[in-house]
Chains A and B, each alone.
Chain A
Amino acid sequence: MTTVADLPRVEPNFLGAQTSVRSWLLSTDHKRIGILYFVATTLALGLGGLFALLLRIEHLTPEKTIMEAMTYNRLFTLHGITMVWLFMIPSIPAAFGNFLLPLQLGATEVAFPRLNLLSFWIYVLGAGVVLFSLWLGGVDTGWTYYAPYSSRSPSAVVPALVGIFIVGWSTILTGINFIVSVHTLRARGLSWMRVPLFSWTIYATSIIQVLATPVLGFSLLVVMLDHAFAWGLFDPAQGGDPVLYQHLFWFYSHPAVYIMILPAMGVVSEVVSTFAHKNPYSYKALVYSTLGIAFVGFLTWGHHMFVAGMSVFDAGAFGVLSMLVAIFSAIKVFGWVATLRRGSISVKAPLLYVFGFLFLFIFGGMSGVAVAAMSLDVHWHDTYFVVAHFHFVMVGGTLTAWLAALHYWFPKVTGKLYSERWAAVASALVILGFFGTFLPQFLLGNAGMPRRYYNYAPHYQALNVASTLGSWALGSGLLMTLGYLLHALVRGPSSGANPWLSRSFEWRTASPPPERNFEQPLDLGLDAYDYTAGFSDAERRP
């Protein structure tokens, strides 16, 4: 017979500990900051998605459908800025990374909790300034701000750049915070080669953030000076060099692609292992390929400039280095597939999204290698083929992995379960809608339709209409997801501590976790991916 004293002391979880608005907005708890980031980045996703749907509607007809050319140019620019800097870059690292990194390290906090809160509010400030530029009429340069057009564009270039510049600070501070956390806050006994794979990718991502973002910062600063004060550093009319701008921009923006995709790969590693109840086929290969991508990613930026007038030798070198990144990605794909072998696979919503990810990422990745095969890039450069390629990686890859992460960790964060049936329907809609939207764009690029075209030749129309129809399916899949998750948040059944029977460290505490993350210090007796012992009856019961 147990007495009250024998029962574990029930601490309030982090959601229930304090409920005032102030306790959320000024919280230094990494879990709450993660949720704040999640809400903010999801709003950005909604906004960027709305822009995308409007752009697709405009393309239903070759000429004007619903908007003027200037509006169209501003919308595609804002779609890019919102999706890249306000959604994609902070989405997984700052939202899920914040929530999970300390849990996966067996820590109670990130290294600098107050800095963490500051990073969030800097992000909000930057996002606010970007949206303020929208109110001033918006920018029409494309998210790439190519000089010298950006020095002369008759639109609100400076406010939008100031906004991105501010968001950059948030990215750098978050990166520093996470790097220090991984180095100093790992639980006793948690050696580097036992760190969960998601944390590894967050670590590698943080390094890229800290090294690359300053380059973006000062490049954009110079564009601002060119635009506001006619400094002309990138304007040949004043002796400047526009190709220098492209080098600087892509020196950041190519690694930025890995800021967006590496955490997604981390999510996939976790989900595959958890739902196959199986150790990763090669943990080391997944870790080293993560670091390899982070490093080689810095050496490939020139493949964005094959037709910008670079020398044949440079082009060849950038081409062959780009192949190396692809090798690391291919290793990961084989690693994930092999992890399923002899597992005990429970096909739940997160795994469905991961299957979608695998298939879409292969297309996205291989088309990426294809555009690095130099002669073909000459034809594809700046056409819809490139648009389709990076949407396959960024949406088919990162957004799909973000949805997998959302479904995988939803019970961890809220302690609630959502409807598996609705989730399956929505995932099918999202993945098929995605194919419908972007497969036609590969063909449009083959046919020669350049990107950022307001008007297009009539023979491109059929494929454009197909793409627009696909975007509606994708959009409704995402709205449906929002619906059933909100419903689950309010009405969902309790999930128990470990509904997926995962061995990963974040599942070895209550769901939602207590304020200080762990009631007892994290037990590291079993590795994060050790499924050889099976689960006891007590663990199986919610």
Chain B
Amino acid sequence: MLDWFRRLFALPPGASSFADGVDRLHLFLVASTLFGSLLVALTVAFTVARQREREPGQPTPRLVASGAREALIVAGCLSLFLSWWVLGCRQYVRMRRPPAGTVPVYVTAKQWMWKFSYPDGRSSLDELTVVVNRPVQLIMTSRDVIHSFFVPAFRSKQDALPGRYVSLWFEPTRVGEYPIECAEYCGVSHSNMLGRVRVLSAQDYATWLESEGSSRDSLPKLAELGREAAVRHSCFSCHTVDGQSHIGPTWQGLFGASVALTSGERVTADAGYLTRAMIDPAAEIVAGYPAVMPSYVGSLSPPEVAAILEYIRSLAASSAMPSVALPRTRLASPLATDAPPATAAQAAP
């Protein structure tokens, strides 16, 4: 049924775990639209045929809708539209919430190419290689204008915005090659900003990794690059990686944790939050810490941001106890709090 529908409505094959649900909703929408338009067309045709003017200017009776009928029509349409929305919204929420254990790939879009960086240090242009049936999370940004990562076969799309990191996840379910298209107009070569996703079986993927092996081993890992970038930009002056509180929150176990902010809100320290914290640190300060971090807009390049993110992510799992105690620092800044900085978890109400 779904294959038949796809062929008739020019849809590409469904190659992700979203595709079947989205296409089923699509079929439901098309069916109810055709039913509605056919109903109106037939009613109009039938009425016109029966009620053709017999004599110009003849009187007609005055008919006025009853409130009950109007309410019935409103309730009917409302329940139809709301059922569309409920189905669509549930699928949308699923698309926006990556499951635990996704493999991250960092995507940098620029006029007019896609760059994919993998945690193991490899990177590729315009070609993304993934394993079938394993969820992938793309953490995306742009170096210039807005682009949009679109894989029709996955029914998946997300804008890549300059200055922030947004994520997109999908789980490919079918081995094959699928086109990537840029969907947001980005200048003269917009329609040439193409790529492809290669979905390999677990076996083929292993073979492919081996063939890449020699070059891969010589590459520094992305997290290692991130550590180097963090050293270069003096991140460790304020942040530790061993769980101890310093001027800023520790990076150990930070990624994916829920942190309390001075505003009283709680956020998940995901790629989006961590990038915002690098670009506009004063906006969302973790409770218990002074607002002293400068903005890194313009000084951190998108690849450095991606590498630092990957480094912080690599620290999420490690739970090594602090080996040394850091000296308590008192800041000269008037913004510094008198109380010793608490860790994020302790600050939670």
Contact = CB atoms under 8 A, between A and B. Distances in A.
Contacts of B11: 446-447
Contact of B10 (A320, A375, A463): A463
Contact of B48 (A312, A340, A444): A340
Nearest to B46: A340
5 closest A-B pairs by beta carbon, nearest first, are A236-B163, A448-B152, A535-B57, A373-B88, A375-B91
A388 to B, nearest CB: 12
Interface residues of B, number: 90
A398 B33 CA distance: 20
B73 A331 contact: yes
Of the candidates B18, B26, B97, the one having the most CB atoms from chain A within 10 angstroms of its own CB is: B26
A237 B298 contact: yes
A344 B62 contact: no
Interface in B274-306: 279-280, 295, 297-298
Contacts of A455: 191-192
Nearest to A372: B85
A379 B12 CA distance: 11
Contact of B51 (A276, A307, A326, A457): A276
Contacts of B61: 342, 532
A346 interface: yes
Given A148-B146, A540-B56, A359 B157 contact: no
A142 B184 CA distance: 11
Given A443-B9, A530-B62, A534-B57, 16 more contacts: A73-B190, A236-B297, A278-B60, A279-B62, A320-B82, A330-B73, A331-B70, A346-B53, A366-B29, A376-B25, A376-B88, A379-B156, A447-B10, A447-B152, A448-B179, A452-B185
A175 to B, nearest CB: 29
B323 interface: no
A537 B275 CA distance: 79
A443 B156 CA distance: 17
A308 B29 contact: no
Contacts of B158: 307, 309
A496 B88 CA distance: 55
Given A358-B40, A463-B10, A345 B53 contact: yes
A366 B36 contact: yes
Contact of A307 (B70, B145, B148): B148
A525 interface: no
A319 B83 CA distance: 12
Most buried by B among A367, A374, A455, A535: A374
A446 B148 CA distance: 17
Contacts of A447: 10-12, 152
A378 B182 contact: no
Interface in A294-350: 306-309, 312, 315-316, 319-320, 323, 326-327, 330-331, 333-335, 337-338, 340-347
B328 interface: no
Contacts of A69: 188-189, 191
A277 interface: yes
A285 interface: yes
A154 B84 CA distance: 42
A282 B64 contact: yes
A377 B159 CA distance: 13
B103 to A, nearest CB: 21
B227 to A, nearest CB: 26
B257 to A, nearest CB: 19
Contacts of A378: 22, 92, 95, 155-157
Nearest to B184: A382
B187 interface: yes
Contact of A379 (B78, B97, B155): B155
Interface in B35-65: 36-37, 40-41, 43-44, 47-48, 51-65
Q: Is the interface of B mostly helix, strand, loop or mixed?
A: mixed
Given A326-B77, A366-B37, A453-B190, A532 B60 contact: yes
Contacts of A373: 25, 29, 84-85, 87-89
Contacts of A308: 146, 159, 161
B33 A326 contact: no
A237 B60 contact: no
Contacts, number: 291
15 contacts: A239-B280, A239-B295, A243-B161, A279-B62, A282-B65, A308-B159, A309-B161, A309-B166, A312-B97, A327-B74, A369-B84, A379-B157, A446-B10, A532-B60, A535-B56
Nearest to A151: B145
A370 to B, nearest CB: 5
Nearest to A378: B157
A70 interface: yes
B26 A376 contact: yes
B304 to A, nearest CB: 15
A132 interface: no
A323 B91 CA distance: 17
Given A282-B64, A315-B92, A450 B164 contact: no
Contact of B53 (A239, A277, A451): A277
A535 B59 CA distance: 7
A152 B146 CA distance: 12
Nearest to B90: A375
B186 interface: yes
Contacts of B213: none
B33 to A, nearest CB: 4
Given A340-B47, A454-B191, A531 B88 contact: no
A533 interface: yes
B192 A531 contact: no
Contacts of B208: none
Interface in A352-389: 355, 358-359, 362-363, 366-367, 369-370, 372-379, 381-383
A372 B10 CA distance: 21
B183 interface: yes
B21 interface: yes
Given A327-B78, A374-B88, A375-B22, A277 B58 contact: yes
B44 A337 contact: yes
Contacts of B297: 236-237, 239
Contact of B181 (A146, A277, A342, A448): A448
B74 A331 contact: yes
A315 B88 CA distance: 11
A140 B57 CA distance: 54
A58 B36 CA distance: 35
A237 B163 contact: yes
B121 interface: no
A453 to B, nearest CB: 4
